[in-house]
Amino acid sequence: MKLVFLDRDGVINEFPGNGKYVTKLKEFHFIPGSLAALRSLTKEHFTVFIISNQAGVSKGVYTKEKLSHITHNMLDKIRQSGGRIKRVFYCTHRSDEGCDCRKPEIGSVRKAFETMNKSIRAAQKAFFVGDTESDILAGHNAGCKTIFVLSGREDRRHMRAWTVRPDFIAANLLEAVAIISRNHAKPSRIRKKKNF
């Protein structure tokens, strides 16, 4: 199975800043190369899911309707450029609400596999791409190969305090897709924390 899970902010679109959210269309800007990356994944017949924490809804910063509007616009632009997203899963809960869908929990990953009538055991052949420790932990917890991209919230300095290490590090999604293309047939190699 050729399967990729992507975070949204900091991976597909520009990270809005710590404590900030993309609340309207004019605040959503694709990271240079991300549309080309999504087109490449589609051409290579990867199934792509987006899994994103969007607690701004529960915090009252923006509504589910605004989030839906931004999402539809994003998906339209991706389709127009030749890419395809299978489905988008958002967790709109705050971190203190104890849900199973907020990364690093893997409830949304499980739902993705359910939509395909597949066992989550197939995650060992999948990739999880994100820009934060919670993304890498989610991928680790699901059994995916993980790619940390440096185009978003966190950078190499933050990694010193992480409990797991990503399988790969990429500058951005376009570089991550090149890594995926070269390594999609190889099994996951989860690594515990090291000095790095």
Gap between the Cα atoms of 73 and 120, Å rounded: 30
Asked about 9 being catalytic, the answer comes back as: yes
Choosing from 9, 131, 135, 167, the catalytic residue is 9
Cis amide leading into 104 (omega within 30): yes
Q: Return d(Cα 64, Cα 69) in angstroms, integer.
A: 9
Query: Does residue 135 have an active-site annotation?
Result: no
Do 180 and 149 contact (CB within 8 A), yes or no?
Answer: no
CA 149/CA 133 separation, integer angstroms: 11
Show the tokens assigned to 36.
Answer: 């080309």
Residues with catalytic roles: 7, 9
